[in-house]
Chains A and B, each alone.
Chain A
């Protein structure tokens, strides 16, 4: 079980919004920092979508946004589009190591 818990799947219709949570589950770790989010399509390398909790790299559409609250980070996709379908992973830094969440499959209905 990952120290960063994500829902296994979320879905939405085109134009809707979906939110993926990433919750720190282990009390063995200290503060979770430097949250980033990655999109992965089948057979492809992950792609950076959000860094430093809520910053977007150049070229990432502004319908992608990030936030945190307590021990949970979230990725929101507003105005869902067909090309947003894929797997999404959160990543954080704790106790000098990097952790990935278990991944969430986003399905566009």
Chain B
């Protein structure tokens, strides 16, 4: 069971970035995929989640208007797109799975993380 994330990104301020997260070793549609980021030296920050089964999403108000989460069920993959990048978006972005029906189960599988650097 694993989540495999796309490679590191270097973006200029104002640009957008699209990250991917591919699940394997389990029934992909049974678990929601959440996105969590961690700025250098900072805590974890929840961004949002997507239900791969029907595409429903929910995101933190912090990213209102800037975040889009989509999925490709044929490829067991979900995507996070973040627009209007600033230096404050420089962080490691993780995807993690969570049981959709048993919310108490926690994030039991994490991707390896994708480093996004925003710099002019």
**Residues of A bordering B, CB below 8 Å:** 2, 33-34, 36, 38, 45-48, 50-53, 55, 57, 89, 91, 93, 96-103
Q: A89-B44, A97-B58, A103-B44 are in contact. List 6 more A-B contacts (CB 8 A).
A: A34-B106, A46-B96, A46-B110, A53-B104, A57-B108, A93-B103
Contact A45-B110, Cβ < 8 Å, known A89-B44, A101-B43, A102-B43: yes
Q: How far is it, in angstroms, between the C-alpha of A98 and the C-alpha of B113 when the chains are bound?
A: 19
Q: Which of B94, B106, B113 is in CB contact (< 8 Å) with A36? A: B106
Q: Which of A46, A50, A55, A97 is in CB contact (< 8 Å) with B44? A: A46
Q: How far is it, in angstroms, between the C-alpha of A70 and the C-alpha of B110 when the chains are bound?
A: 30
CB neighbours of A50 from chain B (8 A): 106
Q: How far is it, in angstroms, between the C-alpha of A57 and the C-alpha of B112 when the chains are bound?
A: 19
**Residues of B bordering A, CB below 8 Å:** 34, 36, 43-46, 49, 58, 60-61, 94, 96, 103-108, 110-113
A-B contact count (CB 8 A): 64
Interface of B is mostly: strand
- Give me 25 A-to-B residue pairs in the complex whose CB atoms sit less than 8 angstroms apart, sorted by A's number: A33-B104, A34-B103, A36-B104, A38-B44, A45-B94, A45-B112, A45-B113, A46-B36, A46-B94, A46-B96, A46-B110, A48-B108, A50-B106, A51-B104, A51-B105, A52-B104, A52-B106, A53-B104, A57-B106, A91-B44, A91-B107, A97-B61, A100-B43, A102-B43, A103-B44
